[in-house]
Amino acid sequence: MKVYIIGIGLIGGSFAKDLKRDFPDWEIRGVDRNKDHLKEAEEIGIIDASAEFSRISEADLVILAIPVDASLKVLPQVLDHINENCLVIDAGSTKKELCRVVEKHANRRNFLAAHPIAGTEFSGPSAAINDLYKNKTNIICEVEKTAFKLQERAMEIFKKLGMRIRYMDPDAHDRHIAYVSHLSHISAFMLGKTVLEKEKNERDIFDLAGSGFASTVRLAKSSPAMWAPIFQQNKFNILETLDEYILNLKHFRDLIKNDQFEEVFNEMEKTNHIKDVLNGITENEKLKL
């Protein structure tokens, strides 16, 4: 089977590494406008070879792992040129707009809209790792619009890579992911900005930053080229989450300002319930394996 991965960074590269391991007979080819990425991916053995987009009709499987704004343009072009038995999967963090632009495409049945909730703050081919997707949730949108035999092929791949599957419509996906992913990244970027502007002496930041700061601001190291388009495509959901977040911050600020530290304690104690929620999700997911 010939696999074309468009975008050989963390996401695409990690797919390539796992597919090469789990399906050793498959031929993995990379397509990327960054020729240095392609060269690096070949040198470290992530892909078997680079390929031109014009040869995509040869592919049995296409994985789209590029920024979401680029996907809006590239996905229709991919569907224009694939053969009738090719499965096309994307891995973007927004779904509503992407599903909309291909809803009437003649080859819509070849496309499966997916979002594996996995990643790190690093980018590029060297950031790719094995088992990035193992035990991670993969959200599938509009599965009924994908040809059944291609659904089966996709599920075989996802199962082999160890993913858990959830089905969701694009609107719900974008609304929920704004809270649990997009807001986290905005918070990290703005925390990093606040500290950098306040502490002009970077040596002080390095010396005083503990593990709490490092873990909280970790996402601020993520690629702006990937995240700015996500914020643009999910603008209205993100604005809603930001409004709620800002209200909570203002309320917490007012409690401190007015010396209401018993209420500060109560707010934090109530929020500690998040650990029970997350532990419950983890246990429930284990039971599904």
So where are the chain's domains? 2-168, 172-258
pLDDT digits (tens, 9 = 90+) for 134-171: 999 999 999 999 999 999 999 999 999 999 999 999 99
CA–centroid distance for 169 within its chain:
17
Q: What is the pLDDT of residue 206?
A: 66
Per-residue burial over 85-117, b if 16 or more Cβ lie within 10 Å, else e, is: ebbbbbbbbbbbbbbeebeeeebbbbbbbbbbb
Rounded to two decimals, what is the model's pTM? Answer: 0.86
CB-CB contact of 23 with 1 (8 Å): yes
* Whether the predicted pLDDT of 281 surpasses 70: no
* Whether the predicted pLDDT of 287 surpasses 50: no
Closest Cα partner for 226 from 7, 41, 24?
7
Q: What is the pLDDT of residue 203?
A: 67
Instruction: Answer with the residue of higher pLDDT: 131 or 206.
Output: 131
- Assigned fold of 2-168: Rossmann fold (3.40.50)
Q: What is the pLDDT of residue 159?
A: 97
Provide the pairing of β-strand 87-90 with 111-116: parallel
In the three-class reduction of DSSP (H, G, I as helix; E, B as strand; rest coil), residue 115 is classed as strand
CATH classification (class only), 172-258: mainly alpha
pLDDT digits (tens, 9 = 90+) for 188-236: 999 989 888 877 766 677 666 667 777 888 888 888 999 999 999 999 9
Proportion of the chain above pLDDT 90, given as a percent: 80
Across 12-26, 144-158, 266-280, least confident range: 266-280
According to DSSP, residue 130 is labeled T
